[in-house]
Structure 1
């Protein structure tokens, strides 16, 4: 019997999660993926946030036990709305697979397990994600659909260069 290669990430998985996150950003054409500043901040973030109830990362391992894919979910608490009366929503991100492990259903398995977490262990009433062209088909197969109101983004310039966190 083959062991289940899908598991929940622990704070000790932070370094590999940073590597997978960098791979995702590289695939998206985001500059600066090799910069140490964001990587260290991301490692500390994963260590801290994976110990919390509002963040879940699902990992896939290859037969040797090496992590080769991930999917991350995080709860957001907002004012209630007609489409989300409870005010709890979720964001899906960091769905990424190492190139050598692609086309084996690992991202699908990670996403399936992540959606089970949202459904069974949280109060999230709706989920959101930002898809690359390559990943859109996977998300649509789970029922994700485009919205009528696309996201807009504004970068907040910092004159002092200090990273802030709540």
Structure 2
């Protein structure tokens, strides 16, 4: 393979997609990245959802054909509102690039692929992305704007 290739992930890519997700969490300082339970659950989830209508993962292969970057789009269905009259939201997440493949535009290409899927193949009318400080510039260049309401979270121990 001569040039990096950007494509939609398939079920054959599940392990690589989970590893990119772990890399993202590690870069964010999220504890528990090495816990095998979440990895097993994520592997099962991607295996089930990856080829369905509500999820799209776009990956970039390096010259040797290894997955080195990726981004995910998912749909979230909510009650229609003034902000989103049809209630279908697109969430762009799971954006990560292996260290040796950074600064080549691969993450950007994967995000653009996800945005194309959201625009062309879904009913989503508003797209969201929760970005780290390092990644915020990329999303602003792609048209994302900061919102007035920061995210808040309540975790239930189950």
Unaligned runs of 5+ in 2: none
Cα deviation digits, residues 104-147 of structure 1 (max 9, x gap): 00001111111111111111010111111111111111011110
Distance 2:101 2:146 in 1: 28
Gaps spanning 5+ residues in structure 1: where?
159-166
What are the equivalent positions in structure 2 for 1:101-120 lying under 5 Å apart? 101-120=101-120
Q: Which residue of 1 aligns with 2:135?
A: 135
In 2: Cα distance, 1:4 partner to 1:26 partner? 24
Give distance in 2, aligned partners of 1:151 and 1:74.
18
Q: Which residue number in structure 2 is paired with residue 20 of structure 1?
A: 20
Q: How does 1:23-102 map to 2 (within 5 A)?
A: 23-102=23-102
**Structure 1 outlier segments of 4+, above 2 Å:** 1-4
Q: What is the alpha-carbon distance in structure 2 between the residues aligned to residue 97 and residue 124 of structure 1?
A: 26
Q: What is the TM-score when the length of structure 2 is the normalising length?
A: 0.96
TM-score by length of 1: 0.92
Do the aligned partners of 2:4 and 2:63 also contact (CA within 8 Å) in 1? no
1:85-119: CA deviation from partner (whole Å, max 9, x where unpaired): 11111111011000000000000111111111111
- How far apart are 1:51 and its partner, in Å? 2.3
Larger relative contact order, structure 1 or 2 (CA cutoff 8 Å, min sep 6): 2
Q: What is the number of residues matched between the two proteins?
A: 158
Q: Rg larger in 1 or in 2?
A: 1
RMSD value, Cα:
1.3
